[in-house]
Amino acid sequence: MNSPDQAPSNALRRFLRLVVVLLLVLLFIVSTAAGVWWFAGQKARRARVLWKGPALERLAAATVTNEDLHQEWEQLKTDQGSHRWTGDHLLLMTNGEYVVFAFRHGANSGFVDHLFLGHGSDGRWYYSTYHFCNSMAAVRGEDPPGSIAEFARRYSAREFDGRSDECLRHTWPTSTRSR
């Protein structure tokens, strides 16, 4: 039989066991959630990487001499007085420079960055993680940039070589993180 001195000691041991079990269950839940979060992020980032290759190929072949892009370019030039500078595949600056682009919408939570890829009339390639939204809706009503350089400053676009995974790095919102 337990003596009166052992009763608090047994109760304390049961309490400590319960605390340890609860902590282990909590640790299991947290690590499982972290694993699921990591796996979902990897899957989404992989889809973004797979999108990049074909998008760059399409952009490399696209010029304003292509019939569809030429029509879009002419329409944007005609509408410039209305401050319309964004098309489905073309951005027209007020100085006549343009960027042929492709855009992939990411997660608005910051889980996976958006990805803008563009080939400028200056021959340079650009990328950005700015949230342009689908069909460039987030910038459609803004005043058009005067040049590609102004566009790059305003929308956190960075130059890259048109091939490498450098374009998958984070540019916006500006912070010290990089992907």
Q: In the predicted model, is pLDDT for residue 176 greater than 50?
A: no
- How many domains, in total, are found in the chain? 1
Residue 67 within a domain: yes
Pair 74, 98: CB distance under 8 Å: no
Between 63 and 23, the higher pLDDT residue? 23
Q: In the predicted model, is pLDDT for residue 113 greater than 90?
A: no
Pair 117, 59: CB distance under 8 Å: yes
Q: In the predicted model, is pLDDT for residue 60 greater than 70?
A: yes
Q: In the predicted model, is pLDDT for residue 154 greater than 90?
A: yes
Average pLDDT over residues 164-175: 85
Q: What is the pLDDT of the chain when averaged over all its residues?
A: 87
Q: In the predicted model, is pLDDT for residue 4 greater than 70?
A: no
Average pLDDT over residues 63-88: 85
Residue 32 within a domain: no
Domain, as residue range, for 156:
50-168
d(CA 112, CA 105): 9
The two structure tokens encoding residue 57 = 């190929």
Residue 13 within a domain: no
Sheet architecture: strand order including 90-92: 90-92, 98-104, 115-120, 125-128, 158-160
Q: In the predicted model, is pLDDT for residue 32 greater than 50?
A: yes
Residue 42 within a domain: no
